[in-house]
Amino acid sequence: MNFVIPDFYPAAAELFVAAMSFVILLVGTFKQSARHFVYTLTQITLVGAAAITWQTMDGQVNFTFSNMYVDDLMGDVLKLMLYLSVAAVLVYSRGYMNDRKMETTEYYLLAIYATLGMMVMISANHFLTIYLGLELLSLALYAMVALERDSARATEAAMKYFVLGALASGLLLYGISMIYGATGTLEISNVAQAIYHQAGNRTVLMFGLVFVVAGLAFKLGVVPFHMWIPDVYQGAPAAITLFIASAPKLAAFAMAMRLLVNGLFELAEQWQSMLMFLAVLSIVLGNLAAIAQTNIKRMLGYSGISHMGFMLLGLMSGVVGGDRHFALNAYSSSMFYVIAYVLMSLASFGVILLMSRAGFEAEALDDFKGLNKRSSWFAGVMAMVMFSMAGIPFFIGFFAKFSVLQAVVAAGYIWLAILAVIMSLIGAFYYLRVVKIMYFDEPADNTPIGATLDMRVLLSLNGLAIAVLGLLPQSLMTWCAYSLLGSL
């Protein structure tokens, strides 16, 4: 049998990140005091990967590794956003991790391996490739949650995450095996062809679809597979919570697009009804449960559940009665929403990390009392984030919700759009409560807020991006639609 050497060019960024992980490991092993150097190497790795991705972004759909891997415009755009997110997480978390003696080589290595797993998920064109990327990401996240070894709370959160994550991986793998049994292939494009030609057992295929959607729902953190979200968000160190709440959402969106849209599009009417059920439950429960929270990390966890519910609204609006003309608008609105959510999540947890210091976790709502008197600028940044998450004009969160609701209305689900608007109004309460606490309550602690220059600058730019993209959202919306047009 002749071995055909694959084309490595479409996966050049992934190979570069994998190679740099070994460099970082060796540097950290032989130079124990190399924290600052390892941090710099990690950021150089992300910048280098971004440069390679940008260089290979030719607008073409390129397959490699026996069609198990694909390089397309959607993947490139999501990867660029992924690098930006992880780089921002590392800048925000550096001071926090250093104060708690957790800024180690292991932290940066796990971040790099998680990034590599997300890159594989984004570009996978095979069910097993997606699963490998997902497991690489998941195992890195489990270890990151437990990085604070002396914390019983972090250890408990890691155990819950690991057990429930293993269960979800099992569901997904079982679904994949049933799809393989029904179609005889695991390559996503071939699965789509087999379903189109009505090959295989339809009943087995439906069961496989249910298990795949269940596994996907866990990774997105939507109801009823949301149980891990509030506990892990609260129990993990704030820097790790920031990582979990941001970049993996991009990979989960890509995973949904690859599995459901690229592979199982002929079953759209079936999986759309499942996503509608998940979306409604997530929006309702996420917003109602967040009202009762006094821990801001837990509140943002439930908030994230509702936001992922909104993202699913776009995915379930693509096909209406067999008509696929709505697909591009619906899926691009979901992509815009997930990018907007990542930007908002980065800024919100960035402010939490800014206020945390050695021996003190700024995670209770009362810790934000009088923030305006301690730092009017960062109180303003946090206020912009809260307004944006609540969907108040004119911030990026408003246009993200507006674009999704527009797709839902175009699909004919008027009642669903009304329900989503009502729940957003209810959800505005707990966002505006944070603003009220920052501006109208007296501070319990007048200690000045100290942070490094790079964190202050990046957090300021993060907040301004939320405002500017709210005023000028069209360029990002067009970018999302164009990337999907060249990939679907």
pLDDT at 2: 62
**How far is 123 from 69, CA to CA, in rounded Å?**
6
CA angle (22 as vertex; 19, 23 as ends), nearest 5: 90
Residue 320: C-alpha distances to residues 75, 110, 284, 404, 416 (Å): 26, 42, 24, 15, 14
Domain enclosing residue 312, as ranges: 10-485
Q: What's residue 61's pLDDT?
A: 84
pLDDT-derived band of residue 277, with 50, 70 and 90 as boundaries? very high
What is the chain's alpha carbon radius of gyration, rounded to the nearest angstrom? 22
Whether residue 292 lies inside any domain: the answer is yes
The reported pLDDT for the residue numbered 419 is: 93
Total residue length of the chain: 488
Q: According to the model, what pLDDT value does residue 117 have?
A: 94
- Does residue 4 lie within any of the structural domains? no
Asked if residue 93 is part of any domain, the answer here is yes
Q: What is the pLDDT of residue 109?
A: 93
Q: Rounded to whole angstroms, how far apart are CA atoms 74 and 254?
A: 8
CB atoms within 10 A of CB 419: 16
For 297, other C-beta atoms within 10 Å of its C-beta total 24
Look at the chain and report how many structural domains it folds into: 1
Residue 407 has pLDDT above 60, yes or no: yes
Please tell me the predicted confidence (pLDDT) of residue 370: 84
pLDDT of amino acid 323: 66
Q: Annotate the chain with three-state secondary structure.
A: CCCCCCCCHHHHHHHHHHHHHHHHHHHHHHCCCCHHHHHHHHHHHHHHHHHHHHHHCCCCCEEECCCCEEECHHHHHHHHHHHHHHHHHHHHHHHHHHHCCCCCHHHHHHHHHHHHHHHHHHHECEHHHHHHHHHHHHHHHHHHHCCCCCCHHHHHHHHHHHHHHHHHHHHHHHHHHHHHHHHCCCEHHHHHHHHHCCCCCHHHHHHHHHHHHHHHHHHHCCCCCCCHHHHHHHHCCHHHHHHHHCHHHHHHHHHHHHHHHHHCHHHHHHHHHHHHHHHHHHHHHHHHHHHCCCEHHHHHHHHHHHHHHHHHHHHCCCCECCECCCHHHHHHHHHHHHHHHHHHHHHHHHHHHHHCECCECCCEHHHHCCHHHHCHHHHHHHHHHHHHHHCCCCCHHHHHHHHHHHHHHHCCCHHHHHHHHHHHHHHHHHHHHHHHHHHHCCCCCCCCCCCCHHHHHHHHHHHHHHHHHHHCCHHHHHHHHHHHHCCC
Under 8 Å between Cβ of 446 and 308: no
Among 386, 384, 403, 375, which Cα is nearest to 474's?
403
Question: Is the torsion defined by CA of 143, 84, 231, 275 positive or negative?
Answer: negative
What's the mean pLDDT in 190-208?
85
**Is a pLDDT exceeding 90 seen at residue 372?**
no
Burial (CB count <10 Å: 0-12, 13-18, 19+), residue 453: exposed
pLDDT bin (cut points 50, 70, 90) of residue 250 is very high
Q: Which residue has the tokens 């919700």?
A: 401
Residue 351 lies in a domain: yes
The pLDDT value recorded for residue 121 is 93
Interval 303-351: pLDDT, tens: 999 999 999 999 888 777 666 777 888 899 999 999 999 999 999 999 9
pLDDT at 446 over 80: no
pLDDT of residue 332: 92
Q: What percent of the chain has pLDDT over 70?
A: 97
Q: Is the pLDDT of residue 1 over 60?
A: no
**Residue 484: pLDDT above 90?**
no
Record the tokens describing residue 113, joined without a space.
């391996």
Q: Tokens standing for 251?
A: 């990979």
Look at residue 450 in the predicted model and tell me its pLDDT: 72
What would the mean pLDDT of 210-233 be, rounded to a whole number? 89
Confidence grade of residue 358 (pLDDT, cut at 50, 70, 90): low
Least confident of 74-78, 264-268, 467-471: 264-268
Give the model's pLDDT for residue 458. 92
pTM of the model: 0.94
pLDDT tens-digit series, residues 20-31: 999 988 888 776
CB 71 within 8 A of CB 123: yes
Omega of the bond prior to 224 within 30 degrees of 0, cis?
yes
Q: At residue 141, does pLDDT exceed 80?
A: yes
User: What is the mean pLDDT of the segment spanning 407-417?
Assistant: 90
Q: Mean of the pLDDT values across residues 230-238?
A: 90
pLDDT of residue 432: 92
* Confidence band for 254, pLDDT divided at 50, 70 and 90: very high
Residue 390 placed within a domain: yes
Question: What CA–CA distance (Å, rounded) separates 443 from 17?
Answer: 44
| Mean pLDDT for the chain overall | 88
Tell me, yes or no, whether 1 lies in a domain: no
Residue 301 clears pLDDT 60, i.e. is over it:
yes
**Residues in Cβ contact with 180 at an 8 Å cutoff, skipping those fewer than 6 apart:** 127, 186
**pLDDT higher for 116 or 325?**
116
Q: Considering the domain boundaries, does residue 300 fall inside one?
A: yes
Q: For residue range 156-185, what is the model confidence (pLDDT) as tens digits?
A: 989 989 998 898 899 999 999 999 998 888
pLDDT confidence band for 58 (50 / 70 / 90): confident
